Structure 1
Amino acid sequence: MNIRPLSRKDEVKAKEIWKICFGDSDAFIDEYFNRIVRYEDTLGCYDGRELIADLFMLDFQASISGIDFKTEFLAGCATLPKARKRGLMRDLVKSAMLGMRKSGLAVTYLHPFLHAFYRQFGYETVAYVKRESMRPNSGHMEKEPAIFSTYDKIPEENMRRAYHRYIAAYDHSFIRSKERFSKWLQLLFADRGYAIVNEDEEPVSYALYYMEENTADVFELVAEGKKARELLLGSIPAERINYFLPSPPDEAAEEFTMMRVLEPVCLLKKMPLKAEHFILEIKDDFLEEHYNLRVEKVEGETNLVEETVEKADLSLTIGELAQAAAGAYAQGSKFDACFPGKTACFFETY
């Protein structure tokens, strides 16, 4: 077995693996490989010359408490059925992490098929959602929101402004460049999705969704407040509309986005802190690292973080550090004394 980046000659096989593992349409897969995939940011596992597993690293920009982090989002992590349960994805993810860390990234993200699977690699859940459902309520507006099924006439810039206005209310989210927003919409329409946009109410609101028989499954909802949400969703021509809303990590919430810390020192230097100073022990079993750090808050500047032999005030796994830094914990947890809680909102899943 050997691991290396994919090349163009691997594209047919990589598309075949994607189709087998995820079942997406050929149109979506073609669009994804044409617009999203950068072959220098891929990894494949080969049995001889045969590609049997792969993953993709996508350029993203995360914001945590107003601090921007360049990051990579893992997507399309897939293994052919005949090659599963051999630890291939473990090896691929580890190689990806080491490469990202070498390039100076402090954190990485993904949306998993199974949270428990990626938890073993040091990922932890940092964003939660609650699923909701409603029936349409047509005829409630003088002018119905516009529905788009192609890219050519969509009010993209108004939507992008609405997106950034919406996520500004949260402490932890992804920042989308104009290019990233365009690619996101083009993927939607390549996969026969829809966008509904209400430009007649301020602020602008929109939803991205797919139709399954007579049900609309909304995977991105940018609408501020219950009234705006119901006006928008109620105009979707479906018998039932399913959607989700960002949620605190309470008992009724569903796990969503996961984050992995690659460089604890780099992260802690930038993060807002609650305690003035503390000693932090961090265990990273997956990458076989151990840290014992003195952390001192410096207002308006980079925090002081240095190695120490002092006894730790707080001991965390690398996954728990992601939760703590992202503020994704219930009130009264062991993180509360050192790290401020935060709100999070993510939509991207690939």
Structure 2
Amino acid sequence: MSLLEIRQLTAQEYDVSLALAEYAFQYKLSPEEREKGRERFIPERIWGVFENGELLARLGLLPFQTYLQGKAFRMGGIGGVSTWPEKRRSGLVSGLLSRVLVHMKEQGCSLSFLHPFSISFYRKFGWEVLSDCKKYTISSEKFPAKTKVVGSVKRDVKDIILLDQIYQTFAQKYNGALVRDSAWWERGVLNKEIYSAVYFSEAGEPEGYTFYNIQNRELLVEEFIFLNKTAHQALWTFLANHDSMVNQAVVNRVPADDILPFMLQDPRCKQEYIPNGMARIVDASAFVREYPFQAPAAHVRININIEDSFAPWNDGWWSLDVSTDGTGRLVKSEQGTSSSGLVCDINTLTAMLIGYKRPKEMLTCGRLHGSEAEATALEQLIPRSTTALFDFF
């Protein structure tokens, strides 16, 4: 009987890994692209399931950081999950996810994100929706009004240090936004054919940028980052000046708290709310130690039963203690019943602590169990924030 082996790939397994990825995601690299990929290949970031030396399934595990309440948390980004069709629905992905969860815990990484092909599939393993983003489709006659502002907009700026200076200030307002290092800017952001425009204030300070493309008389706005109202107006004036070239603009991955349609003369544009990304707490105890709770007036203790059969180190009763400086910790408890305390699965705990959903919401819809008083106590500990993820991996 053959045995399955789950491990990180070696440098010699680039070709078999790429062959599976190309098949699963229906693309083909040119010989030049293949060689560039080989040079960038980091085998320890790819995990595979092997049978008798043959690669059956794979996934990538990328070392990221993400902002939560303005603080950077280590996060494992899972992507490129793929299996040969004859081996699907045989538990291979489940085995891979289980193994990389253990690896992340061992590496001190308490949080994981992914972009799902199916939300329901990954919910079974403890991942939960991370954010809602908006997508606008605005006809050219309804573009925001062109406004004369001080400062200037410059096209084709690809200075990573300058762009990241703007991005970091903007992104820290949102839970879930990636901390972008220079390698990710090059590989994950500026690796495609896009136009860029940066707004500079009258004093010459960079205060906003947009990445966009133009195809088939459509203005595709991939990223729109601004630090103040003037930058917002200047960049939209720049985009609106394309009105003779396009019939409409499609603006992607807009944070849920954006109010652009309200600011239009005619707000009746198409708006779509799209679940974007999924998150999972890998190690609840380690995550809580890092998490900046809202500082209570007095020490708070809440008993909570976390249900997590896929990562059993999280499973069971805990005491959540939060001190007056906002520092929290989870301590294993012997609580035996749910008559006193809160009960939820790891998905729900993740949604609440990253700020995507509030405890009272989860209590109302049956995802959190316990008394309203206990849910209120937890709600008061979690800072209010908006979640957003601007990157795909």
Structure 1 length-normalised TM: 0.84
CA RMSD of aligned residues (A): 3.2
1:196 maps to which residue? 196
1:325 maps to which residue? 353
Q: What is the aligned length?
A: 340
Q: CA-to-partner distance for each residue in 1:162-189, whole Å, 9 max, x for gaps?
A: 101211332442212233323334422x
1:246 maps to which residue? 255
Matched, 1:98 2:105: no
Q: How does 1:1-350 map to 2 (within 5 A)?
A: 1-24=4-27, 26=29, 30=34, 33=37, 37-135=41-139, 145-148=153-156, 154-188=158-192, 193-201=193-201, 203-209=206-212, 212-224=215-227, 227-228=233-234, 230-234=236-240, 238-243=246-251, 244-247=253-256, 253-273=273-293, 276-289=300-313, 290-300=315-325, 302-310=327-335, 312-329=340-357, 332-333=360-361, 334=363, 337-339=377-379, 340=382, 341-350=384-393
Question: Structure 1's 98 and 240: CA in aligned 2 closer, same or farther, altered over 3 A?
Answer: same
Give yes or no for contact 2:280–2:347 (8 Å, CA) kept in 1.
Answer: yes
Structure 1 unmatched runs, 5+: none
Displacement of 1:123 after TM fit?
0.2
Give yes or no for contact 1:172–1:342 (8 Å, CA) kept in 2.
Answer: no
Displacement of 1:52 after TM fit?
2.6
Question: Structure 1's 131 and 206: CA in aligned 2 closer, same or farther, altered over 3 A?
Answer: same
Greater Cα offset, 30-39 or 198-207:
30-39
Tell me the SS of whatever aligns to 1:134.
Answer: strand
Question: Structure 1's 291 and 216: CA in aligned 2 closer, same or farther, altered over 3 A?
Answer: farther
Question: Structure 1's 185 and 34: CA in aligned 2 closer, same or farther, altered over 3 A?
Answer: farther
Question: Structure 1's 68 and 155: CA in aligned 2 closer, same or farther, altered over 3 A?
Answer: closer
Question: Structure 1's 173 and 114: CA in aligned 2 closer, same or farther, altered over 3 A?
Answer: same
Displacement of 1:47 after TM fit?
3.4
Displacement of 1:241 after TM fit?
2.7
Q: CA-to-partner distance for each residue in 1:51-89, whole Å, 9 max, x for gaps?
A: 232111111111211332112111111122232222211
Rounded Cα–Cα distance in structure 1 between residues aligned with 2:89 and 2:199: 50
Displacement of 1:318 after TM fit?
0.7
Rounded Cα–Cα distance in structure 2 between residues aligned with 1:24 and 1:207: 28
Q: CA-to-partner distance for each residue in 1:180-204, whole Å, 9 max, x for gaps?
A: 323334422xxxx203212345653
Q: CA-to-partner distance for each residue in 1:144-163, whole Å, 9 max, x for gaps?
A: 95554xxxx62222211110
Greater Cα offset, 295-304 or 113-122:
295-304
Give yes or no for contact 1:145–1:196 (8 Å, CA) kept in 2.
Answer: no
Rounded Cα–Cα distance in structure 2 between residues aligned with 1:212 and 1:13: 35
Displacement of 1:141 after TM fit?
7.9
Rounded Cα–Cα distance in structure 2 between residues aligned with 1:50 and 1:326: 39
Give yes or no for contact 1:219–1:347 (8 Å, CA) kept in 2.
Answer: no
Greater Cα offset, 271-280 or 38-47:
271-280
Identity across the alignment (%): 18
Displacement of 1:21 after TM fit?
2.1
Greater Cα offset, 30-39 or 251-260:
30-39
> Looking at CA atoms only, which structure, 1 or 2, has the larger radius of gyration?
2
Q: CA-to-partner distance for each residue in 1:82-118, whole Å, 9 max, x for gaps?
A: 3222221111111111111122211111111222221
Displacement of 1:238 after TM fit?
4.5
Give yes or no for contact 1:273–1:338 (8 Å, CA) kept in 2.
Answer: no
Give yes or no for contact 1:127–1:256 (8 Å, CA) kept in 2.
Answer: yes
Rounded Cα–Cα distance in structure 2 between residues aligned with 1:6 and 1:208: 35
Displacement of 1:213 after TM fit?
4.0
Rounded Cα–Cα distance in structure 2 between residues aligned with 1:90 and 1:318: 17
Rounded Cα–Cα distance in structure 2 between residues aligned with 1:238 and 1:196: 17
Displacement of 1:284 after TM fit?
0.3
Question: Structure 1's 304 and 37: CA in aligned 2 closer, same or farther, altered over 3 A?
Answer: same
Give yes or no for contact 2:115–2:277 (8 Å, CA) kept in 1.
Answer: yes
Structure 2 unmatched runs, 5+: 258-270, 364-374
Greater Cα offset, 58-67 or 296-305:
296-305
Question: Structure 1's 32 and 241: CA in aligned 2 closer, same or farther, altered over 3 A?
Answer: farther
Code of the aligned partner of 2:325: G
Tell me the SS of whatever aligns to 2:378.
Answer: coil
Give yes or no for contact 2:126–2:280 (8 Å, CA) kept in 1.
Answer: yes
Question: Structure 1's 229 and 328: CA in aligned 2 closer, same or farther, altered over 3 A?
Answer: farther
